[in-house]
Amino acid sequence: MRVILPPSETKSDGGESAPLDLDALVLPELNPVRRKLADAIVELAADLDASRAALGLSASAVAEVERNADLWESPTRTAITRYTGVLYDALDYPGMTRATKTKAGDRLMIGSALFGVLGAEDRIPAYRLSGGSKLPGFGTLGSLWRPVLSPALDALDDFVVDLRSGVYQKTGPVAGAVTATVVTEAPDGSRKVVSHFNKHYKGLMARELVRTRRRVRDVNALAAVLSDAGQRVEITS
């Protein structure tokens, strides 16, 4: 089983490992696009106003542009500890046992506008690029990624749980993947998609899928794991 998490715009600073080495990342067939995008955001960082416009940043977000400028020289750390925020708080990777962290390394992948998809233990620097960013001279990131990312993910030949948001799923749809929609139910039975707590619940889902000892190979086994953890699950086609 592979669980693909969404990335986060918020990222931890610093790192304890050597600068970015694309050849050390999973799915090396993605490296030509990774390098093209990495070089593009480094070059763009020389123009503060153009960077702000392309990346959707406020006038005060100078540090985000500086991160991109230093992309090839900055220290790295594992992707699972680089990304921060609500989902990663709920996942609580730092609180896992050593054995569970090993399973997290095997099972978790992370979507990325810059890297396509990463392994949890891939080492990356801090950067800023979102799925909806529009870099000068490029089309949408989805149009750039889809031709290479979907085939690479399909070739994993594993049961995939895709927890990425819509914009990241479009960068590389996975044939046969299970996706999740978090909803809340009102007393009258009406439902609406959860927005504020969506990432929190997906983080809890991912945590249970990392911890389980079950062999999760289909949606029924997936539902059983989550139900046993106290989550209400409904399977829809």
pTM for this entry = 0.95
Which of 63, 33, 237, 45 shows the shortest CA–CA distance to 150?
33
In the chain, domain spans: 2-228
Q: What is the pLDDT of residue 184?
A: 82
Q: What is the β-pairing status of strands 183-185 and 178-179? A: unpaired
Q: What is the pLDDT of residue 185?
A: 77
**Which parts of the chain have pLDDT scores under 70?**
none
Q: What is the pLDDT of residue 187?
A: 81
Q: What is the pLDDT of residue 163?
A: 97
| E strand intervals along 171-230 | 178-179, 183-185, 191-193
Q: What is the pLDDT of residue 237?
A: 75
Q: What is the pLDDT of residue 95?
A: 97
Q: What is the pLDDT of residue 123?
A: 98
Q: What is the pLDDT of residue 193?
A: 80
